[in-house]
C-alpha cells in the first residue's frame, strides 16, 4: 500500500489519540490549582477532598498521555526521516526544550501531587500542583511553537539544494515567535482549558443528577464553570486572531476553510454547506455575503484570495477542511452558550434544579474533545500539500528506509493497543467516578435542596 497515505494515517491516528489526554491535563491542572488554593485559603476539608479526587483523575489521564506521547517524540524519525533531516536544525531545539523545561517539571512534581500528601507540607504540595500545571502548559508551548514553524516558517535560511537541502536556524526568537505561534498557542491552551473544565462539569453534573456527593459536585461545577466561560469567550478572541493570521500567511488554507474559489473577490462566510471540488462551489450552503471579508479585513467588500489563485497541486483538500472548521466553530459557539446558561442559572440559584441542562452538561464533555480534534484537522489538512509550508512537500518528507507493509504493521499494532487503552481508560475512569471522592457522604439530601 501507499507508504505516504499510511504514514499520514498513522501520524493522524497516534497524534489524534494522544491529544485527548494532555488537553484534559492542562485544563484540569488549572482547576486543581484553584481547588487546592481554596483549600489553603479556607482550610475547608471539602476542597481537600475535591483536590484529592481530581488529582487521581489527573494521574490517570496523565499516565495515558505519557504512554502515547512518547510515540510522537520518535515518530518524526521513524516515519518522516527526510523531514527530520530537513527541519532538525530548527525544529529539534524546540522539542529538546520541551523535554528539559516541561516534561521534567511535570513528571517530577506529579509524584508529589499523587504520592506526596503525607510526605510534604500543605504549602509544598500546593507549590507542586502549581508547578505541574505550569509544566503542562510549557509542554504545549514548545510543541505548538514547533508545529507553528511548519505552518509559518521564520528565522531560518535554506542551505544546500535538492536532497541535501535543509533549513538552518538564523534567529532563535524569530523561530519561536513565528507569525502564527502565539495565536495558535493561545488557541490550543484555551481549547485545553475547556477540555478540562467540561470534564469536571460533566462528572459533577452526573453526580448532581444521581443525587450523590452533592456538596462536592456543586463546588466542583462552579469552579469549572468559571474556567469554562472564561476560556470559551477568550477562545473567540484567539480563534479570530488565528483566522486573520491564517488568511495573511496561509491564504490557501483560509480559502479552503470557507470553500472560496474565486481568485479575487469579496468572500462570504458559510454557516454550513458541502464543497463540490469538481464544480468548485459550495452546495446546500447558507452564507452571509461579505462576512469573511469583513471579519478578516474589517471591510465586507475587500477581496480575499481564492483557491483558483493556486495551482491545483498546491491546494489542500477543500471539503474536509471546510467541514472540520465549521464543526469546530459551531461547537465553540455552542460551548459559549452552554457555559453562559450555566452561569445565568447559577446566579439565579436554580442551576442545580435544571435537570435538562445538567443532562446536557454530562454529554458536553464531548464538545471540547471533538472541537479540539477537528480544529487540528483543519490546521494540519489545511497545511497540505506542504509538510513545511511552501518549502517541503509532505510526499517528500517520508523515510526512505520504510516500506508500506512496515507502516501497515505498525498501524495495526497501534490500532489494537490504542483501542484497548481507550476501553480500559474509560472503564477505569467510570470506576473512579462511580466510587466517588473519599471522605464524602453518599449525599446529604438537604444539601441537594439548599442551592
Partner 1 sequence: MDLNMIWFGLVGILFTGYAVLDGFDLGIGALHLFTDTDEERRLMINSIGPVWDGNEVWLVTGGGALFAAFPEAYATVFSGFYIAFMLFLLALIFRAVAIEFRSKQPMQWWRTMWDVGFALGSVLAAFLLGVAMGNIARGVPLDANHVFSGNLFHLIKPYTVLTGITTVALFAMHGSIYGVLKTTGELHDKLRRWVKNTIIFFILMYVITTMYTLLYVPHMATLIEAHPVLFVVPLITILAIANVPREYYYNRDFQAFLSSCVAVISLLALFGLGIFPNMVYSMPNPENSLTIYNAASSPRTLRIMLTIAAIGMPLVIAYTTSIYYIFRGKVELTEHSY
**Residue 358 contacts partner 1 per CB under 8 A:** no
Binding letters toward partner 1, positions 25-64, x by CB under 8 A:
----------------------------------xx--xx
For residues 208 and 360, the answer to whether their CB atoms sit within 8 Å is no
Binding letters toward partner 1, positions 388-407, x by CB under 8 A:
-----------xxxx---x-
CB of 53 to partner 1, least distance (A): 13
- DSSP string for residues in 45-78: HHHHHHHHHHHHHHHHHHHHHHHHHHHHHHHHHH
**Residue 163 contacts partner 1 per CB under 8 A:** yes
**Position among 168, 248, 299, 442 found at the interface with partner 1 (CB under 8 A):** 168
CB of 192 to partner 1, least distance (A): 20
**What angle, 0 to 180 degrees and rounded to 10, lies between the N-to-C axes of helices 45-79 and 214-249?**
30
Report residue 408 as a C-alpha cell. Answer: 501497515
Q: For partner 1, give the closer residue by CB, 70 or 333.
A: 70
97: exposed, middle or buried (C-beta count within 10 Å: 0-12, 13-18, 19+)? middle
**Position among 16, 37, 116, 317 found at the interface with partner 1 (CB under 8 A):** 116
CB of 383 to partner 1, least distance (A): 20
CB of 291 to partner 1, least distance (A): 43
For residues 439 and 46, the answer to whether their CB atoms sit within 8 Å is no
**What angle, 0 to 180 degrees and rounded to 10, lies between the N-to-C axes of helices 181-209 and 214-249?**
160
Stretch that binds partner 1, among 80-88, 293-301, 345-353, 374-382 (CB under 8 A): 80-88
Count of H-run helices and E-run strands, the chain = 15, 8
CB of 435 to partner 1, least distance (A): 10
**Residue 77 contacts partner 1 per CB under 8 A:** yes
Report, in angstroms and rounded to the nearest whole number, the Rg of the chain calculated over CA atoms: 23
Asked, as a colleague might, if the bond just before 272 is cis with ω within 30 of 0, I would say: no
CB of 299 to partner 1, least distance (A): 42
Please give the residues from 81 up to 110 whose contact with partner 1 meets the rule CB under 8 A. 81-82, 84-85, 87-93, 95-101, 103-105, 107-110
CB of 396 to partner 1, least distance (A): 13
Q: Partners of 120 in the beta sheet?
A: none
Binding letters toward partner 1, positions 406-445, x by CB under 8 A:
x--xx--x---x---x--x---x--x------x-------
**φ/ψ bin of 213: left (φ > 0), alpha (ψ from -120 to 50), beta (otherwise):** left
Amino acid at each position: 500500500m501507499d507508504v505516504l497515505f499510511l504514514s499520514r494515517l498513522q501520524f493522524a491516528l497516534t497524534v489524534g489519540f494522544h491529544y485527548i489526554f494532555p488537553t484534559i491535563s492542562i485544563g484540569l491542572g488549572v482547576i486543581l490549582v484553584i481547588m487546592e488554593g481554596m483549600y489553603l485559603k479556607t482550610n475547608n476539608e471539602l476542597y481537600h477532598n475535591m483536590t484529592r479526587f481530581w488529582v487521581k483523575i489527573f494521574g490517570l489521564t496523565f499516565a495515558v498521555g505519557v504512554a502515547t506521547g512518547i510515540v510522537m517524540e520518535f515518530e518524526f524519525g521513524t516515519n518522516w526521516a527526510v523531514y527530520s533531516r530537513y527541519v532538525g536544525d530548527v525544529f529539534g531545539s524546540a522539542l529538546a526544550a520541551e523535554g528539559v523545561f516541561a516534561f521534567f517539571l511535570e513528571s517530577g512534581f506529579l509524584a508529589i501531587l499523587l504520592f506526596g500528601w503525607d510526605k510534604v507540607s500543605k504549602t509544598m504540595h500546593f507549590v507542586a500542583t502549581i508547578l505541574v500545571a505550569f509544566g503542562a502548559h510549557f509542554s504545549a508551548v514548545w510543541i505548538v511553537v514547533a508545529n507553528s514553524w511548519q505552518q509559518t516558517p521564520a528565522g531560518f535560511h535554506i542551505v544546500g539544494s535538492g536532497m541535501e537541502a535543509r533549513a538552518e536556524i538564523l534567529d532563535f526568537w524569530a523561530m519561536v515567535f513565528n507569525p502564527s505561534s502565539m495565536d495558535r498557542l493561545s488557541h490550543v491552551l484555551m481549547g485545553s482549558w475547556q477540555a478540562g473544565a467540561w470534564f469536571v462539569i460533566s462528572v459533577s453534573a452526573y453526580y448532581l443528577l444521581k443525587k450523590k456527593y452533592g456538596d462536592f459536585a456543586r463546588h466542583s461545577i462552579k469552579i469549572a464553570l468559571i474556567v469554562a466561560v472564561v476560556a470559551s469567550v477568550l477562545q473567540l478572541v484567539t480563534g479570530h486572531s488565528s483566522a486573520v493570521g491564517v488568511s495573511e500567511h496561509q491564504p490557501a488554507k483560509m480559502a479552503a476553510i470557507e470553500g472560496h474559489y474565486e481568485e479575487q473577490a469579496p468572500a462570504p462566510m458559510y454557516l454550513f454547506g458541502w464543497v463540490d471540488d469538481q464544480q468548485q462551489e459550495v452546495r446546500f450552503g447558507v452564507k452571509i455575503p461579505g462576512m469573511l471579508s469583513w471579519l478578516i479585513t474589517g471591510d465586507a467588500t475587500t477581496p480575499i484570495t481564492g483557491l483558483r489563485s493556486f495551482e491545483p497541486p498546491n491546494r489542500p483538500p477543500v471539503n474536509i477542511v471546510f467541514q472540520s472548521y465549521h464543526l469546530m466553530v459551531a461547537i465553540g459557539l455552542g460551548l459559549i452558550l452552554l457555559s453562559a446558561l450555566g452561569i445565568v442559572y447559577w446566579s439565579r440559584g436554580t442551576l442545580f434544579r435544571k435537570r435538562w441542562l445538567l443532562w446536557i452538561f454530562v454529554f458536553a464533555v464531548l464538545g471540547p474533545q471533538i472541537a479540539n480534534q477537528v480544529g487540528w484537522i483543519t490546521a494540519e489538512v489545511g497545511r497540505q500539500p506542504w509538510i513545511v509550508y511552501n518549502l517541503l512537500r509532505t510526499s517528500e518528507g517520508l523515510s526512505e528506509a520504510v516500506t508500506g507493509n512496515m507502516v501497515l504493521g505498525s498501524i495495526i499494532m497501534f490500532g489494537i493497543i490504542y483501542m484497548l487503552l481507550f476501553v480500559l481508560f474509560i472503564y477505569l475512569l467510570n470506576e473512579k467516578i462511580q466510587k466517588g471522592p473519599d471522605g464524602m457522604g453518599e449525599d446529604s439530601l438537604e444539601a441537594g435542596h439548599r442551592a
